[in-house]
Chain A
């Protein structure tokens, strides 16, 4: 769409696919978290085996000024191990639920990763020099005989092959009874929150032996439990503000200045239910699976099963924009309830300039919405039907079971292939998303 000024929609090209290209997927390799860091130079993925793989973007080559650098493996490490809770006889999965990067303060990179119960702070640092010329040690590490030393010298740093080391700097454990679903670093860069189904805790990055409980929705009688926390995030600019979404489709904004325990919300974002669309599954599909502030801090996006909603923080009564992700699934909710797909938690993300939003769907489709009220674009993450530098062709989903080059019937959709985890480069037109065991990186086609 050249010459369109703002351009009706961007064109995307497949840049890279990471991971094994075969149908035989081991459970441990399934990607469960995807996150760019604050500069976009690093891209971290977490999987169900508790591992984290970090990719680094190449410096842009002079030969191809039009394309941005490729992402190559930078570091791989085991973040979490499976544990066993002896008291409850329950296994604690090592699956990485969320990864969040800290803003970079020095040469090293820091990220927080969490499984169901424990959050860890990892330091990723480079080592490309090593000291040589010790007085008491040989080069291979053996100790010299002290009597053989006749002169002294000062050890010097010599270059070596680049080594990337990941070391756990903090382990924040034993603060959550229920499963952690979100972590979010505060804009003050000193604190972060972790949210489980019923509680949200505030941590200081330096202290692992204490955290403050700031939200607690556990009822005294668990039999009265009807609502749980599903997602939570700090405001990108105001260090006192955070939001959390619930399983009933509401989002609460809390101000930590108001009280130590933020059980009373400052704002409640809830759209009144449309009585004509009421079904048995209304509550399930209204459950908020992800909540993300815009970069500007003025808007907030929520994802529920069928829609993406954009909220103005100044208006609680209803969203300012609503986008249908896959409305054709509304008539299939019973089947999706039966095969548990209705419980899938999709993430969503903002573009670098907040002009577009993106979220995943089934059949390895993902949806791009231009925030202009248009119905949006459906693209497919498929290495078979995409070639680099060739713009992706949009798909349409129709009723029945037709299948053409650019149209597919609802009955042909593969519900085992879904894109739950997505991330948008903070400064550029690059998006990363995870299919079951592959990482796809798309770049915006520059005109």
Chain B
């Protein structure tokens, strides 16, 4: 598992920063360390969600610890999100720091998306106000969340009642990639209008933060449904209740652990992001066209 610091850096980064040699090296080393950190953070986030979803009867101690870990990761991501609201000068030219585009509410961003954001941030920085770039990366978070959700859905077959009208219920990672591209495009177009409220984005994903921060390991029934703004969440929550109370669970308990393992492996493979390079360039091109840089 590549949770160790010092990942090999990817080939694509060599064309960045054509300036002086030394600062480039320093920036590159910093990138690696921060990228590795972000990868690990994302892994921890995903693992925590998977565990909370899969472990139905587990000890309260374990659930509290996992929830606290999740909360910690969320807080870290939201802290990184704050500087991006300020003028773009605050952000330094590191790809991963564009996890700074991550905002409180939609912070489930796999590393490959952060990498994506990095590319886009560079192209946007000079020409687009910070607000839009934030919105842009916000759009990507939402979309990347669908990938995470898809993976979790594979894990918990009962949790498939999420509203499919937003085309987010695709179950395979590869197909969701292309749907993400198209989805992000449409969201992007909506978002470039600064007056658009964030709620226009398919917000079946807002539960991610609320879920993590208000998740009550023992007494899910005590969760107030007022926390969630949209009725299409309610079905999901009901399924989640069923999950935790184990009253009408249809998951075969024996198969769950192996699913967790296979999902994790798949997830780790997807983190390498190598198969997404063509999409990266495509999106880059689309962004340039739209922004008119």
Contacts and interface: CB of A to CB of B under 8 A. Distances in A.
Interface of A: 88-91, 178-179, 181, 197-198, 221-223, 225-228, 230, 247, 280-281, 283-284, 287, 331, 334-335, 337-338, 340, 343
A97 to B, nearest CB: 11
B273 to A, nearest CB: 19
A228 B68 CA distance: 12
B64 A228 contact: yes
A247 B217 CA distance: 15
Contact of A178 (B51, B60, B223): B60
B47 to A, nearest CB: 6
Contacts of A226: 64, 67-68
A228 B60 contact: yes
Contacts of A227: 64
Contacts of A181: 61
B47 A338 contact: yes
Nearest to A225: B64
Nearest to B257: A340
A227 B65 CA distance: 8
A287 B60 CA distance: 13
B61 A287 contact: yes
Contacts of A247: 61, 64-65
A115 to B, nearest CB: 13
Contacts of A91: 57
Given A179-B59, A222-B219, A283-B65, 13 more contacts: A223-B215, A225-B216, A227-B64, A280-B44, A283-B69, A287-B65, A334-B40, A337-B44, A337-B47, A338-B1, A338-B47, A338-B264, A343-B65
Contact of A283 (B1, B72, B217): B72
A88 B245 contact: yes
For the complex of A and B, the 3 pairs showing the least CB-CB separation, nearest first, are A334-B3, A222-B219, A197-B60
> Chain B binding site: helix, strand, loop or mixed by DSSP?
helix
Given A89-B245, A89-B247, A335 B218 contact: no
A84 to B, nearest CB: 12
Contacts, number: 75
Given A89-B247, A225-B217, A284 B65 contact: yes
A73 to B, nearest CB: 32
Contacts of B51: 340
15 contacts: A178-B218, A181-B61, A222-B218, A222-B219, A222-B222, A223-B222, A226-B64, A280-B44, A280-B69, A280-B72, A283-B65, A283-B68, A283-B69, A287-B65, A343-B65
Interface of B: 1, 3-4, 40-41, 43-44, 47, 51, 57, 59-62, 64-65, 67-69, 72-73, 214-219, 222-223, 245-247, 264
A343 B64 contact: no
Contacts of B65: 247, 283-284, 287, 343
Contact of B57 (A90, A228, A284, A343): A90
Contacts of A338: 1, 47, 264
- Please report whether the interface of chain A is mostly helix, strand, loop or mixed according to DSSP: loop
Contacts of B57: 90-91
Contacts of B215: 223
Contacts of B67: 226
B1 A225 contact: no
Contacts of A280: 40-41, 44, 69, 72-73
A411 to B, nearest CB: 12
A198 B218 CA distance: 12
Contacts of B222: 221-223
Nearest to B56: A90
Nearest to A89: B247
A284 B64 contact: no
B49 to A, nearest CB: 13
Nearest to A226: B68
B223 A89 contact: no
Nearest to B5: A331
Contacts of B247: 89
A88 B244 CA distance: 11
A300 to B, nearest CB: 21
B44 A223 contact: no
- Which residue, of A91, A181, A281, A337, has the highest number of chain B Cβ atoms within 10 A? A337
Given A228-B61, A283-B65, A287-B61, A331 B44 contact: no
B245 A223 contact: no
A227 B222 CA distance: 18
Contacts of A178: 60, 218
A353 B290 CA distance: 77
Given A283-B72, A284-B65, A331-B4, A222 B216 contact: yes
B1 A343 contact: no
Nearest to B247: A89
A227 to B, nearest CB: 7
Contacts of B246: 89-90
B180 to A, nearest CB: 26
Given A225-B216, A334-B1, A343 B245 contact: no
Nearest to A223: B216
